[in-house]
Amino acid sequence: MEIPAGLKYTITHEWARQEGELVRVGVTDHAQNELGDIVYLELPEVGRWLAKDEPFGVIESVKAAADLYMPVGGGIVEVNAAAAEDLDTISASPYEKGWLIAIKPTNPSELDGLMDAAAYEQYLAEA
């Protein structure tokens, strides 16, 4: 299982990567492995503003459905239509091509409250 350094992680298994003034978000390798074959993805509309920890979408697999949560509050500036059209992208490349949304954060310091790779790895080991 891959847990790249340089990303931030949530307890609900989203990752966040700061890219300039944007934050790109996806689901972790652990999450997509647990879900199995992804069959449905619902993402928000560009322009929508959501608070930290607010659901921004839904991901469903043959095993389960799960809400996707905002790692930081802000406005949705981009959605990954390619991943939504080819759901295998999320499993094949969860940290690169399989990203889900890009956020313009209202408070970038909210990233500081998320786990780094080592903390996320420990969180998974204790779960």
* Domain tally, the chain: 1
Q: Does a structural domain hold residue 103?
A: yes
pTM to 2 decimal places: 0.95
Give me the percent of the chain exceeding a pLDDT of 90: 96
Q: Does a structural domain hold residue 90?
A: yes
Looking at residue 87, which CATH number applies to its domain? 2.40.50.100
Distance separating alpha carbons of residues 43 and 117, to the nearest angstrom = 25
pLDDT digits (tens, 9 = 90+) for 23-55: 999 999 999 999 999 999 999 999 999 999 999
Domain encompassing residue 106: 8-126
